[in-house]
Amino acid sequence: MVEFTKELDASGLNCPLPILKAKKVLNTMQLGEVLHVLTTDPGSVKDFDAFARQTGNKLLSSTEENGKYSFLIEKAK
């Protein structure tokens, strides 16, 4: 697993809250730092993919295990 700088547990939250909270945390981070986001919303898979494309940040990984979704996002802008 990639080392991450900060972690955000957005479990139990539905769209768009995980994205909004991730954006807020990313705004406090430096270029190249990695945010680990945990969610339980199945829609977050598409949401974080679109978020990365739209913002220019890098979605390093997107995984699911037992209804828990994990994302690693590198701040690129």
- Residues taking part in catalysis: 15
The C-alpha torsion from 13 through 14 and 16 to 18, rounded to 10°, is 40
d(CA 53, CA 12): 24
| Residue 40: CB atoms within 10 Å | 15
